[in-house]
């Protein structure tokens, strides 16, 4: 019976990971972060390289998080990683601030009229409970 529970948990975890990754990359695509960065940095010809770097960064970050690799990169490596993470989060936050109208436009285009408050509350509740679980139950703090 325990193996059945492990299989169910693995399927749920895998499905959750796919949903989060798809949502993250969809948000990055909708917000147009990559074209804006390539335009700001004047490297439009290297847009595919930047997209590949973002995908590889997400994959490597996920692998490090899941498998708990010990990376001996020192203080300089930590500063470099923090710099790149900060640049990514900053560009994501600024793009998100520019286009806060994404959700209402999505609801309007899908002609969704009922249940919008329920969907928004469920998204917020799921995010809050997931964060609570990760930080307090899994030992993040």
What is the pLDDT, as a whole number, of residue 62?
74
Q: How far apart are CA 38 and CA 46, in angstroms?
A: 8
HEC string of the chain equals: CHHHHHHHHHHHHHHHHHHHHHHHHHHHHHHCHHHHHHHHHCCHHHHHHHHHHHHHHHHHHHHHHHHCCCCCCHHHHHHHHHHHHHHHHHHHHHHHHHCCCHHHHHHHHCCCCCCHHHHHHHHHHHHHHHHHHHHHHCCCC
Model pTM score: 0.47
pLDDT-derived band at 65 (thresholds 50, 70, 90) equals confident
Above 70 in pLDDT, residue 66?
yes
The string of pLDDT tens digits covering residues 84-140 is 777 777 766 666 655 566 667 777 777 877 877 787 777 777 777 777 777 677 765
57 and 120 Cβ atoms separated by less than 8 Å: no
The string of pLDDT tens digits covering residues 2-60 is 888 888 888 888 888 777 777 777 777 777 777 777 777 788 788 788 778 877 877 77
Cβ neighbours, 10 Å, residue 28: 19
Q: How far apart are CA 104 and CA 117, in angstroms?
A: 12
């Amino acid at each position: 019976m325990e193996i059945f529970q492990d299989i169910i948990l693995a399927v749920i975890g895998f499905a959750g990971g796919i949903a989060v990754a798809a949502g993250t990359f969809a948000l990055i695509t909708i917000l147009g972060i990559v074209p804006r960065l390539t335009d700001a940095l004047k490297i439009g010809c290297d847009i595919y390289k930047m997209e590949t770097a973002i995908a590889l960064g997400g994959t490597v970050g996920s692998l490090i998080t899941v498998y708990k690799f010990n990376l001996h990169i020192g203080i300089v490596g930590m500063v470099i990683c923090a710099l790149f993470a900060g640049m990514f989060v900053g560009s994501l936050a600024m793009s998100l601030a520019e286009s806060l109208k994404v959700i209402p436009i999505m609801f309007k285009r899908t002609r969704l009229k009922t249940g919008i408050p329920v969907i928004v509350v469920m998204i917020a509740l799921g995010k809050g409970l997931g964060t609570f679980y990760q930080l307090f139950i899994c030992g993040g703090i």
